[in-house]
Amino acid sequence: MPELRFNVVTREWVIIATERAKRPKDFSNNKERSHHPERLPSCPFCPGNEHKTPAERFRVPDGDAWKIRVVANKFPALSPEGEKKRLGNGLRTAVTGVGVHEVIIETPVHNRYTALQDVADIEDLIRVYMARFVEANRDPRVEHAIIFKNHGEGAGTSLDHPHSQLIATPVVPVQFRDRVQAAMHYFDNTGECLVCSLLEKDMQDGTRIIYDTPHFLTFIPYAALSPFHTWIFPKRHSASFSTLTGEESRDLAAHLKNILSRFHYGLSDPDYNYVIRSSRPRDAGNEYCHWYMSIIPRLTTAAGFEMGSGMFINTSLPERNAEFLRSVRPE
Amino acid sequence: MPELRFNVVTREWVIIATERAKRPKDFSNNKERSHHPERLPSCPFCPGNEHKTPAERFRVPDGDAWKIRVVANKFPALSPEGEKKRLGNGLRTAVTGVGVHEVIIETPVHNRYTALQDVADIEDLIRVYMARFVEANRDPRVEHAIIFKNHGEGAGTSLDHPHSQLIATPVVPVQFRDRVQAAMHYFDNTGECLVCSLLEKDMQDGTRIIYDTPHFLTFIPYAALSPFHTWIFPKRHSASFSTLTGEESRDLAAHLKNILSRFHYGLSDPDYNYVIRSSRPRDAGNEYCHWYMSIIPRLTTAAGFEMGSGMFINTSLPERNAEFLRSVRPE
């Protein structure tokens, strides 16, 4: 019999469709990226083409060259210039589209996907994420910032060169507000942070854990919205990603390398998105918000049911998928 | 300058990314379905293959043959048998996966997509939707029912033969609850239904209207989440689709035909989803819920930003897209 599970963090019901359940291997989804070159002359993110990107805002140098570059998005979703203004209210609520939209070019090597990078390189990347996150949040027009990565066309990018993005918006997403409110109710009822409670429960349970270290836990949530949907939870309570210590950054890099290489070798380099869900640095001390990372391989297509209900149908078993990922031996 | 618009019904912020805005024609997305045959021997929904589907639950007869068939889904997301039981609470909330999952085969003709059907045929389809919606809601285990259609692979279906689905769940989707609550607050503040107010505003405005008749309005919402995202609003206030009169059914069929054929000819038969968002028949008298249809061409891919924030980036202008659709002459 299928089972509906409730994701207490995202507040979404998931139908775990056991009758339709596929084996973990059936999700393997090779995108044929293995033939990509180390350098592609037409790629604007490859070395030698620095002039093809907008002005550089930040770099991790490597002698005269660079290891990581941060540039403005050439086609920004939000304008860096201009005043934040309400343009309407009520039935026509609008705000001027000001904010930050940056691209983080993760490596000079065109085909060195995050899964294949060294942990030390990913640690550098995480430090760049932090620096840009803090910087974006200094802009008084900014109310919320998202760091995310789109890997592959199915995840919404047309550029294969490894890159991430930061978008900082002049409003707070309602989804974020709703989740904060639910976490606040949980805190009022129990005196505890919802994510801290869930972390404790999942560590005791153990069936969906993929990687466990002193500072982080990588696991498939009980009510995973889609096959191999994975969370990385920091064990230390903090509302904001900006409070990461040096030791924690190294540990987070190891977790990201771990899960992405399991995807790469176990599921044949699937398209995926990841996102850092965090409060602003100024809200870091909040007791009921807890930042985390979500990693979503794009192995299925949301259809009318998902769009019409906000519920999901997951045609796989979170426990079985976690077991499978644990068995993957990154080459 | 880009603009953020707030969708008051879905409670989602949309970045209308004017800097990236495409022309309406650029979204044209031909799926090469035009070569499909009238009958495909391997298709389980084609006449002659009735034995390949689970038992028929309903039909609109056509002599000895049929015009519309309703069958159980062969791989149901929810089980028709079994008791509804809570399996856990708190951090491990779950419910047995019982409910209804039906397939509505819209026509015996394999390649007669809804856009190409006669209004009278679509009217029959809407009456079947109503009958099955009412029937599903009679099941005491059911708390919510969704009728939806996935047209094309990009919209989540692998079967081309025109069909819709009904899924009735043993829980209320949280997304639905949240929207009801927002509509309730609006009602408390104003004494009016949010959708009725919006309808009035959009009829006065006029810039995003595609089709207007005595009973319905088809228009692109002010804060359309994605290019050509379209709503059909009934003008008479009712919380439930089940209250549709005969005259209204005919009018709704004309609206559906109108918008889908504009998509078909104007955007080269794109993949799309549509969904009927409705309260249960027993809640039909509610003053602040208002049922409607949402039609979503799948012309873009949600990426990390959308997943991580619940906000959307729409690379087109709702007003310009509505103007374009109005100019399409269905052949």
Q: What are the structural domain ranges in chain B?
A: 9-327
Put simply, whether A176 touches B (Cβ < 8 Å) is: yes
Digit-coded pLDDT (tens) for B212-268: 999 999 999 999 999 999 999 999 999 999 999 999 999 999 999 999 999 999 999
Instruction: Using the predicted structure, report yes or no on whether residue B32 has a pLDDT greater than 80.
Output: no
Digit-coded pLDDT (tens) for A73-105: 998 999 999 999 999 889 999 999 999 999 999
Q: How many CB atoms lie within 10 A of CB A1?
A: 13
Q: What is the average per-residue pLDDT within A129-153?
A: 97
Give the catalytic positions of B in this structure: 163
Digit-coded pLDDT (tens) for A211-234: 999 999 999 999 999 999 999 999
Instruction: Using the predicted structure, report yes or no on whether residue A31 has a pLDDT greater than 70.
Output: no
Instruction: Using the predicted structure, report yes or no on whether residue A33 has a pLDDT greater than 90.
Output: no
Kindly give the residue spans of alpha helices, DSSP state H, lying in chain B.
119-138, 174-190, 194-205, 246-266, 304-309, 318-327
Q: Which residue has the tokens 């801290």?
A: A196
Cβ of B165 and A201 within 8 Å? no
For residue B7, list its beta bridge partners: B12
Q: What is the average per-residue pLDDT within B197-220?
A: 97
For residue A70, list its beta bridge partners: A58, A104
From the candidates A91, A195, A306, which should be mutated to test the interface with B, based on the most B CB atoms within 10 A?
A91
Instruction: Using the predicted structure, report yes or no on whether residue A174 has a pLDDT greater than 80.
Output: yes
Q: How confident is the model at residue A150 (pLDDT cuts 50, 70, 90)?
A: very high
DSSP characters for B222-233?
Answer: TT-SSTT-EEEE
Check residue B160 and give left, alpha or beta (phi > 0: left; psi -120 to 50: alpha): alpha
Q: How confident is the model at residue B146 (pLDDT cuts 50, 70, 90)?
A: very high
**B64 vs chain A: nearest CA distance in angstroms?**
32
Q: Please tell me what DSSP assigns to residue A322.
A: H
Put simply, whether A193 touches B (Cβ < 8 Å) is: no
Q: What residues of chain B lie within 8 A of the CB of A72, using their CB?
A: none
Q: How confident is the model at residue B29 (pLDDT cuts 50, 70, 90)?
A: low
Q: What is the average per-residue pLDDT within A187-196?
A: 97
Cβ of A302 and B156 within 8 Å? yes
Supply the ipTM of this predicted assembly: 0.93
d(CA B90, CA A222) in angstroms, rounded, equals 12
d(CA B133, CA B129) in angstroms, rounded, equals 6
Cα distances from A207 to residues A6, A221, A323, B329, in angstroms, run 17, 10, 8, 57
Q: What is the average per-residue pLDDT within B96-114?
A: 97
Q: Which residues 201-220 of B are in CB contact (within 8 Å) with A?
A: 201
State which amino acid sits at residue B154: G
Q: What residues of chain A lie within 8 A of the CB of B82, using their CB?
A: 1
Q: What residues of chain A lie within 8 A of the CB of B150, using their CB?
A: 303-304
Q: Please tell me what DSSP assigns to residue A236.
A: S
d(CA B181, CA B169) in angstroms, rounded, equals 20
d(CA A321, CA A218) in angstroms, rounded, equals 13
Tokens (6 digits) for A97: 């589209």
From the candidates A175, A176, A196, which should be mutated to test the interface with B, based on the most B CB atoms within 10 A?
A175
Q: How confident is the model at residue A24 (pLDDT cuts 50, 70, 90)?
A: confident
Q: How confident is the model at residue B308 (pLDDT cuts 50, 70, 90)?
A: very high
d(CA A281, CA A9) in angstroms, rounded, equals 21
Nearest residue on chain A to B311, alpha-carbon basis: A173
A13-327 architecture in CATH? 2-Layer Sandwich (3.30)
Supply the pTM of this predicted model: 0.95
From the candidates B7, B9, B91, which should be mutated to test the interface with A, based on the most A CB atoms within 10 A?
B91
Q: What residues of chain A lie within 8 A of the CB of B276, using their CB?
A: 308
Cβ of A18 and B303 within 8 Å? no
Put simply, whether B98 touches A (Cβ < 8 Å) is: yes
Per-residue confidence (pLDDT) for residue A1, from 0 to 100: 87
Q: How many helices (H) and strands (E) does chain B have?
A: 6, 15
Tokens (6 digits) for A154: 């199915």
What's the gap between Cα B88 and its chain centre? 32
Instruction: Using the predicted structure, report yes or no on whether residue A148 has a pLDDT greater than 90.
Output: yes
Query: Nearest Cβ partner of A97 from B1, B146, B154?
Result: B1
Q: Which residues of B182-202 are buried (b: 16+ CB within 10 A; e: fewer)?
A: bbeebbeeeeebbbbbbbeeb
pLDDT above 90 covers what percent of chain B? 91
Pair B145, B133: CB distance under 8 Å: yes
Q: How confident is the model at residue A30 (pLDDT cuts 50, 70, 90)?
A: low
With H, G, I as helix, E, B as strand and everything else as coil, classify residue B297: strand
Q: For domain B9-327, give the CATH superfamily.
A: HIT-like (3.30.428.10)
Instruction: Using the predicted structure, report yes or no on whether residue B115 has a pLDDT greater than 80.
Output: yes
Q: What residues of chain B lie within 8 A of the CB of A225, using their CB?
A: none
